Amino acid sequence: MELEKFSYDNKIVKYFAIATVVFGIVGMLVGLTAAIQLFYPIFNFDLQYTTFGRIRPLHTNAVIFAFVGNAMFAGVYYSLQRLLKARMLSDALSWIHFWGWQLIIVAAAITLPLGFTSSKEYAELEWPIDIAIALIWVVFGINMIGTILKRRERHMYVAIWFYIATFVTVAVLHIFNSFAWPVSLFKSYSAFAGVQDALVQWWYGHNAVAFFLTTPFLGLMYYYLPKAANRPVYSYKLSIIHFWSLIFIYIWAGPHHLLYTSLPNWAQSLGVVFSIMLLAPSWGGMLNGLLTLRGAWDRVREDAVLKFMVVAVTAYGMSTFEGPMLSLKNVNAIAHFTDWIIAHVHIGGLGWNGFLTFGMLYWMIPRIYGTKLFSDKLANFHFWIGTLGIIFYALPLYWAGITQSLMWKQFTEDGFLQYPNFLETVTQIVPMYMLRAVGGLLYIIGVLVMAYNLVKTAYAGKLIANEPAEAPALEKREIVGGHWHAVLERKPIIFTSLALVAILIGGVIEFVPAFLIKSNVPTIASVKPYTPLELHGRDIYIREGCNTCHSQMVRPFREETERYGEYSKAGEFVYDHPFLWGSKRTGPDLHRVGAKYPDSWHFNHMLDPTSMSPGSIMPPYPWLFEQQVDADLTPAMISALRHVGVPYEEGFEDQANALMSKQAALIATNLKKDGIEIAPEAEIIALIAYLQRLGTDIKVKGVANQNVSSTQEGGN
Amino acid sequence: MYKEVLRSITGIEIWPLVSLAIFFAFFVGLLLWVWLADKDYIDEMSHLPMDSDQSSTPNQLNHDTLK
């Protein structure tokens, strides 16, 4: 057979690797800033661009899409070419992919601090950037599948299946979750409302973890771990079962993020069952990775690459054990809304994604530069300080989460809340926040050391931009027969379609009933669409990222109805585009905050939270008192919301601003009685209007404070 | 509440059954295939990452082929 000569593109790998390290450092520093803001609110800098509510989404987007995303691309571009014995389909597509992705990251880094956000977690970017993401993602997919089609290796190794599943699923998730109606260039309203929006968002959110942070990295594990250990994977058969069961089951588990919320019970149960089932394939994969090292454990002692990979796979095992446990309703009742979840995701993020990335870079960079790693000692130092960092990060947060949750739930002998003031439960755990920041700092020091080590390595060698290779061309003759799965591995397009079907079945079975419910959600007659002023207030709430720290979902527990009021009903959210249930309570729930305090309380509280709640860690929002509501936008907001199904009458947009001035004047007069002078156009007025409206629709007939018996029914 | 919602969807009882059937059939098929898979083929597959690297020992056995 004739050998064909070709070359592997290492330059694109180098660029993605550089982007990985640079954005890794940036994203983690932003994370450290956010961590410090939680115990020293002064580090919010009293600037709207740097408050926690805007910094936290910046951190999550940077580490997920910039750090982990670029690491994924670097790893895929290196391994895919070698597994297929072919250069990438097109250098042009590779570079469009690279620069397109970096531009998206820059766009995110600019728009998120400016407050352009959809409020949906890990999907905060506004619609023009969403479209750009979809386009660049498709470029990546074409480049990858095109390479598979022109391969010189007949069979596709299991790593490539994981890459294919990643591409297909992320495309579906991203497009579906981004359905929105634009109001302006950087503002849109989700096409879904309330319960449905929550279901779609957490179907996306959970599977972003599954198919952006897990499946591509499992593909990388199946390539780089055998490479680094210099022995084949423990069981290839197990890897086949791992792949199909994982992608089949993962897609169903999203609703476990919404336990005890207003989501219909059947959907919650579906999420729980599939989350528990996930344990089996996840641990199958973890054991497959660890057992690959059987007989090579002596090398783990010396080789920093293997050390990183062992801890990465162990962290994968830990967080995929913890995940199903957190999906049990009784455990979730304790952990949800607390720092336990933050600890959980960082075991996955710092341990699994971070350490696998580091191991991969330490292995790959010397190879593409044709040299040895500059310093094994520094790599080992990085390993130990990084591991210490993870421990210092996670343990205090587990402690904090459980402590705070138990304090929320504690009743006195007389049946009153032991800690009726939410703030008490926060100040209790502030020392833990400090320790967590120390852990984060240690981890970043390790990354900086790695950056130095890798740069030194690069300078010591020379980039082999086009690495020569040769392999026989794939024979064109049709091979008939073989096992059906073996046949499948020769047909990438059919394989891709099957993977798509596997993930769509889960989505369809989850969504179809949920969307049929639309006409059946028990509507509550007293729930009405928001007034124009409240809408502006809601947009400010979204812009400032209030939902980052405050939930709007009172769960049907006695300690929550005692603390906040009547538990939340599905019918209350029918006009919420997007839903704002939140996922973390750094501050108290706000769903029943309406009419709880006088307007002046909110006014003073937003100006200086510590004036109303001494010791509060909430940042002040002075700019809300200077900036004015953009009344020109009101008609567009109304008509966009009408497009997604809010029943504003035709022509309402023309009277909306007059109505708005009237309501604003009322609040301004109200404040004046308390001796506060403020222009009715100020943003704070709109925000107060929204906060005072929250959760009051069902209070109209005075049902709020007689809920003990109905609560217990709801809880069971 | 959710029971009324469920009842109002025609044919809802069949959903869980359909999903269970799909899963069951797929996994039984998959397990059967993996069980019966040709050893040489599995061995070839698991060595794919190693092939491009001269330093690897070509005939290393793994769990699948050791039995």
Q: What is the mean pLDDT of residues B33-60?
A: 72
One-letter amino acid of A625? F
pLDDT of residue B9: 63
- Whether the CB of B20 is below 8 Å from some CB of chain A: the reply is no
Residue B31, in any domain of the structure: yes
pLDDT of residue A521: 65
3-class SS string, A399-452: HHHHHHHHHHHCECCCCCECCCCHHHHHHCCHHHHHHHHHHHHHHHHHHHHHHH
Residue B8, in any domain of the structure: no
- Whether the CB of B65 is below 8 Å from some CB of chain A: the reply is no
Omega of the bond leading into A578 within 30 degrees of 0 (cis): yes
pLDDT of residue A715: 35
Domain membership of residue B22 as a residue range: 17-44
Is the reported ipTM for this assembly greater than 0.95? no
Q: How many residues does chain B have?
A: 67
Residue B26, in any domain of the structure: yes
Residue numbers in B near A163 (CB within 8 A): none
Residue B65, in any domain of the structure: no
All residues at 6 or more sequence positions from A160 whose CB lies less than 8 Å from its CB, including other chains: A80, A83, A84, A148, A219
A466: helix, coil or strand? strand
pLDDT of residue A44: 94
B34 to A240: CB separation less than 8 angstroms, yes or no: yes
Comparing CB atoms, the residue among A237, A241, A244 nearest residue B42 is A237
Closest to A75 measured CA to CA, from A144, A127, A150, A175: A144
B41 to A483: CB separation less than 8 angstroms, yes or no: yes
pLDDT of residue A262: 81
Contact A288, A321 (CB under 8 A): no
pLDDT of residue A679: 95
A157 to B49: CB separation less than 8 angstroms, yes or no: yes
Residue B37, in any domain of the structure: yes
Residue numbers in A near B12 (CB within 8 A): 513
Residue B34, in any domain of the structure: yes
Structure tokens at A571: 């019918």
Helices (H), A150-264: 158-177, 194-208, 215-229, 236-250
Instruction: Indicate the helix (H) or strand (E) that contains A184.
Output: strand A180-184
Contact A212, A68 (CB under 8 A): yes
pTM summary value: 0.91
Burial (0-12, 13-18, 19+ Cβ within 10 Å), A120: buried
Residue B56, in any domain of the structure: no
- What is the rounded CA–CA span in Å between residue A281 and residue A276? 10
Closest to A213 measured CA to CA, from A168, A260, A166: A166
Low-confidence ranges of chain A (pLDDT < 50): 519-520, 702-716
Structure tokens at A74: 């670097």
Closest to A540 measured CA to CA, from A685, A695, A692: A685
- What is the rounded CA–CA span in Å between residue B34 and residue B30? 6
Return the CA Rg of chain B: 22
Domain count, chain B: 1
Closest to A343 measured CA to CA, from A215, A429, A445: A429
Residue numbers in B near A83 (CB within 8 A): 48-49, 52
pLDDT of residue A497: 84
Residue numbers in A near B1 (CB within 8 A): 264-265, 522, 570
Residue B10, in any domain of the structure: no
- What is the rounded CA–CA span in Å between residue A285 and residue A221? 10
CA angle, A106 then A44 then A19, to 5°: 25
- Whether the CB of B28 is below 8 Å from some CB of chain A: the reply is no
- Whether the CB of B26 is below 8 Å from some CB of chain A: the reply is yes
pLDDT of residue B61: 61
One-letter amino acid of A21? V
All residues at 6 or more sequence positions from A169 whose CB lies less than 8 Å from its CB, including other chains: A207, A210, A211, A215, A247, A251, A499, A503
